[in-house]
């Protein structure tokens, strides 16, 4: 049961990556008419509005609550998530105006490095040898893509902005990871509307407007698919895989973006790009094959999230016992055992 849930989570992470992968090349086209800050606002507003509509339709069906709602304990992470999600797409959109869409797409993999290091040093997630190899290859690849001229060692300003976006998203991924047991649809709505409105206010204060209704509509639709649905699948995957490993599977997104960029813009392929792409493939491979197994202790914990009683970590009983998935506050008794596991919220133990 646990294995099958992890496989489903891997598929969700890859699907999230595929949806996000289309954003850079299409956004670059829309940026010809829409300013970077306004573009960032529209992408997140499209995500928030789209997922809010789906949530309202879903709530019309009178089903038992299966998901835990965001509470006061998650407020610091919610605020951090919104602020970082205002900054990240803004940096990415600015970067896209200064570099090629394929270069920006490939550089997005640096998000894995930032997410993993923050997960390691701040949230104490375990990182194995293969994930360290992945971080090494992706970092070297990102350096190659960021240096415009090795003879004079000058950096590409556009690439720097893309890397700043990756750093913001790396911190944001870890904030989201701390909320991953809560309703993923609610997380996307809060993230989309909060970040979108924040970015929109900044854009309007800077007198950044757009009059092309078609481009605005396309940006909102792109936001729903590339950000809304992508974030929904990403948050759901984090429940089972943890922040670092979800980002590792998410690494296929840049390659989708690169392929689409080359088709749309007929961009020139340089030797630097080819070398970086090869290293990025190695990095993605080692990130994807990371495995983790050892004897570990689960401390007693009381929390609320979606769960069922058919897998080993939820053996409690309660009134109105339900065999399917449901949500309520429950207690995990202390236990020691050994099995393959990922650093999800139930395996945040030290090593």
Q: Which residue has the higher pLDDT, 316 or 15?
A: 15
Residues 211 and 237 in one domain: yes
What pLDDT was estimated at residue 270?
82
Judge whether residue 330 has pLDDT over 70: no
Confidence band (pLDDT; 50, 70, 90) for 171?
A: very high
Mean per-residue pLDDT, 279-294: 74
Cα dist from 127 to 122, 133, 336, whole Å: 13, 10, 21
- Domain termination site, one of 266, 295, 324: 295
Number of domains in the chain: 2
- The enclosing H or E element of 320 equals none
In angstroms, the CA 123 to CA 242 distance is 11
Residues 249 and 132 in one domain: yes
Residues 25 and 167 in one domain: yes
Calculate the average pLDDT of the chain: 82
pLDDT per residue over 193-246, tens digit each? 999 999 999 999 999 999 999 999 999 999 999 999 999 998 888 887 777 778
Q: Which residue has the higher pLDDT, 99 or 307?
A: 99
Residues listed for the chain: 351
Residues 98 and 150 in one domain: yes
Confidence band (pLDDT; 50, 70, 90) for 336?
A: low
Residues 161 and 305 in one domain: no
Residues 268 and 309 in one domain: no
Residues 136 and 109 in one domain: yes
In angstroms, the CA 180 to CA 178 distance is 6
Residues 241 and 324 in one domain: no
Does residue 249 belong to any structural domain of this protein? yes
Residues 118 and 231 in one domain: yes
Residues 133 and 243 in one domain: yes
What pLDDT was estimated at residue 150?
63
In angstroms, the CA 27 to CA 215 distance is 10
Residues 14 and 48 in one domain: yes
Residues 192 and 326 in one domain: no
Does residue 346 belong to any structural domain of this protein? no
pLDDT per residue over 238-276, tens digit each? 887 777 778 777 777 778 888 888 888 887 788 888 888
Name the least confident of 10-19, 32-41, 78-87: 10-19
| Residue range(s) defining the domain that contains residue 229 | 2-60+69-295
């Amino acid at each position: 049961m646990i294995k099958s849930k992890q496989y489903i989570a891997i598929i969700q992470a890859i699907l999230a990556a595929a949806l996000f992968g289309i954003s850079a090349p299409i956004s670059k086209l829309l940026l010809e008419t829409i300013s970077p800050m306004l573009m960032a606002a529209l992408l997140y507003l499209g995500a928030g509005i789209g997922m809010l509509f789906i949530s309202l339709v879903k709530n019309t069906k009178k089903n038992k609550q299966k998901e835990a709602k965001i509470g006061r304990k998650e407020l610091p992470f919610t605020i951090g998530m919104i602020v970082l999600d205002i900054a990240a797409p803004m940096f990415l959109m600015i970067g896209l105006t200064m570099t090629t869409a394929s270069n920006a797409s490939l550089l997005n993999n640096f998000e894995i490095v930032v997410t993993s290091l923050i997960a390691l040093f701040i949230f104490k997630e375990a990182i194995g040898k293969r994930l360290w190899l992945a971080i090494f290859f992706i970092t070297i690849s990102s350096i190659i893509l960021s240096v415009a001229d090795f003879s004079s060692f000058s950096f590409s300003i556009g690439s720097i902005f893309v890397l700043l976006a990756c750093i913001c998203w790396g911190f944001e991924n870890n904030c989201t990871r701390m909320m991953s047991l809560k309703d993923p649809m609610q997380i996307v709505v809060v993230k989309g509307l909060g970040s979108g409105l924040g970015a929109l206010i900044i854009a309007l204060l800077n007198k950044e407007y757009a009059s092309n209704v078609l481009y605005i509509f396309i940006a909102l639709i792109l936001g729903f698919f590339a950000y809304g649905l992508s974030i929904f699948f990403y948050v759901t995957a984090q429940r089972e895989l943890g922040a670092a490993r979800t980002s590792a599977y998410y690494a296929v997104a840049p390659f989708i973006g690169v392929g689409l960029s080359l088709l749309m813009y007929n961009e020139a392929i340089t030797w630097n790009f080819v070398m970086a792409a090869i290293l990025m493939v190695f990095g993605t491979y080692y990130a994807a094959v990371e495995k983790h197994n050892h004897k570990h202790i689960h401390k007693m914990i009381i929390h609320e999230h979606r769960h069922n009683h058919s897998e080993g970590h939820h053996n409690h009983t309660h009134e109105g016992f339900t065999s399917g998935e449901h949500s309520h506050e429950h207690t995990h008794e202390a236990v020691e055992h050994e099995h393959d596991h990922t650093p999800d919220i139930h395996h945040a133990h030290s090593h």
